[in-house]
């Protein structure tokens, strides 16, 4: 598990929810820069924040976040 | 409004902790450099830099102790382990010093025997205490959260 990069589809989910980075940041209580970094893969959010993202974007955690290599274990819709 | 309110989130908090840890290390290194400079470049005697030494020791050992305490996973040695560790530590210090400096003057015991025998005792006792308290803290935390 160590060294595995956390992948995410936060940007896609945000756009689907018709939210800007600032709006999403306000909804989940973080800064816009943090959203930008998470979307770019530069920061791994805590589970608490991941759950907030899932609630705001109406997605499951699994749909939003996964680690590299999970595609082989859970091949469903991680294309 | 002249100033925008600074927003703090988990990333900025984590960065603050990271910066604090790095800068603590830098401060400790600088403090050690000051001690060496005063000792060997300015030729000051040991007594003149005791305050710097004390601050550096408190900073390093306090940091390590807090890490051990908050981690709560350090193994707690048994009584036999404590005694054995103390004997090995003080034994190697005493034998090393005897081999290097020779047998000390008896009246100089406060600067020779005392630190060689008391120092390891304090280190072993402090480690055991911190490890025990740290584990107890975590176990209590788990118990409280399970209730």
Pairs of residues, one from chain A and one from chain B, whose beta carbons lie less than 8 Å apart: 20
What residues does A67 pair with on adjacent strands? Answer: A6
Q: Is A6 helix (H, G, I), strand (E, B) or coil?
A: strand
Superfamily of structural domain A6-73 = lambda repressor-like DNA-binding domains (1.10.260.40)
Ordered per-residue pLDDT tens for chain B, 147 residues: 677 777 889 999 999 999 999 999 999 999 999 999 999 999 999 889 999 999 999 999 999 889 888 888 788 889 999 999 999 999 999 999 999 988 888 888 888 899 999 999 999 999 999 999 998 999 898 888 887
Extract the runs of DSSP E, i.e. beta strands, from A2-47.
6-8
Whether residues B10 and A30 touch (CB distance < 8 A) is answered with yes
A49 closest CB neighbour out of B7, B10, B12: B10
The reply to whether A47 touches chain B by the CB within 8 Å rule is no
ipTM entry: 0.75
Whether residues A45 and B9 touch (CB distance < 8 A) is answered with no
* pLDDT for B17: 93
Q: Is B77 helix (H, G, I), strand (E, B) or coil?
A: coil
Tokens of B82: 């404590």
Whether residues A49 and B7 touch (CB distance < 8 A) is answered with no
Span A8-23, pLDDT tens digits: 999 999 999 999 999 9
The full DSSP string for B29-67 is: HHHHHHHHIIIIIS---GGGGHHHHHHHHHHHHHHHHHH
Domain limits, chain A? 6-73
Domain limits, chain B? 9-71, 74-147
């Amino acid at each position: 598990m160590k060294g595995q990069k956390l992948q995410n589809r936060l940007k896609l989910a945000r756009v689907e929810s018709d939210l800007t980075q600032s709006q999403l940041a306000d909804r989940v209580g973080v800064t816009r820069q943090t959203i930008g970094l998470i979307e770019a893969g530069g920061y791994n959010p805590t589970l608490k924040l991941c759950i907030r993202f899932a609630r705001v974007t109406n997605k499951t955690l699994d749909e939003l976040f996964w680690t590299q290599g999970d595609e082989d274990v859970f091949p469903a819709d991680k294309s | 409004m002249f100033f925008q309110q600074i927003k703090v989130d988990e990333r900025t908090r984590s960065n603050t902790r990271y910066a604090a840890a790095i800068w603590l290390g830098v401060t400790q290194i600088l403090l050690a450099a000051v001690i060496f400079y005063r000792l060997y470049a300015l030729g000051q005697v040991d007594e003149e830099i005791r305050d710097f030494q004390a601050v550096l020791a408190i900073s390093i050992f306090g940091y390590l102790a807090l890490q051990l305490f908050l981690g709560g996973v350090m193994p707690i040695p048994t009584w036999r382990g404590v005694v054995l560790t103390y004997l090995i530590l003080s034994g190697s210090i005493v034998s090393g010093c005897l081999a290097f400096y020779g047998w000390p003057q008896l009246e100089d015991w406060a600067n020779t025997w005392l630190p060689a025998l008391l120092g390891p005792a304090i280190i072993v006792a402090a480690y055991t205490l911190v490890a025990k308290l740290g584990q107890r803290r975590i176990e209590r935390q788990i118990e409280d959260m399970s209730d």
